[in-house]
Amino acid sequence: MVDQPRTGASYYGSPYGTSYQTNNNNNPPSRQTVKFITAATIGISLLLLSGLVLTGTVIGLVIATPLLVIFSPILVPAAFVLFLVAAGFLFSGGCGVAAIAALSWIYNYVAGNHPAGSDTFDYAKGYLADKARDVKERAKDYGSYAQGKLQEATQGSH
């Protein structure tokens, strides 16, 4: 057994070879050449296209710059007004969506569906009711204290 040479087997593997053999020569050279030519063609085409787009952009800026300078007293205020109008529409739309969401939440709460956050709302409502009751009791106590002081002051003056 020691005299037999090892062929195609790894040191830890089976003496009969492995079921998965890594062979980089599976692809014939013509297939690798086609892959390389295809990748090179796509790469060169995209490089040329990006160069054309860059050239077109520079030419467009060269042509448009004098027009932008000439019409800037009109374009800058117009852009500012368009920005304000767009911001106003977006803000009013956002307020409308918020109002609809709030009304929907209120409707679901009143209908008893317990929307998200209603438990926090109920806790806050109970907390405020407790504080209002405490203030009412303190006001009664202070009122009776003030009335007692007033009676003492009136009796002392007689």
**pLDDT(24) > 60:** no
CA 11 to chain centre: 54
Token pair, residue 58, equals 């520079």
72-106 pLDDT, tens digit per residue, is 999 999 999 999 999 999 999 999 999 999 999 99
Q: Determine the Cα–Cα distance for residues 126 and 128; give it in Å rounded to an integer.
A: 5
Q: Determine the Cα–Cα distance for residues 68 and 61; give it in Å rounded to an integer.
A: 10
**pLDDT(8) > 80:** no
125-156 pLDDT, tens digit per residue, is 899 999 999 999 999 988 888 888 888 888 87
pLDDT the model gives residue 49: 96
Kind and range of the H or E element at 123?
helix 118-157
List Cβ<8 Å contacts ≥24 apart for 6-10: none
Q: Determine the Cα–Cα distance for residues 152 and 19; give it in Å rounded to an integer.
A: 109
The model scores a pTM over 0.75: no
Q: Determine the Cα–Cα distance for residues 41 and 31; give it in Å rounded to an integer.
A: 15
pLDDT the model gives residue 2: 57
pLDDT the model gives residue 145: 87
**pLDDT(37) > 90:** yes
- Over residues 40-64, the mean pLDDT reads 96
pLDDT the model gives residue 127: 92
Q: Determine the Cα–Cα distance for residues 134 and 79; give it in Å rounded to an integer.
A: 58
Q: H helices within 7-114, ranges in order? A: 29-111
pLDDT the model gives residue 97: 96
Domain boundaries, the chain: 117-152
- Over residues 11-31, the mean pLDDT reads 58
Q: Determine the Cα–Cα distance for residues 4 and 2; give it in Å rounded to an integer.
A: 6
- Over residues 33-44, the mean pLDDT reads 94
Mean pLDDT, the chain, integer: 85
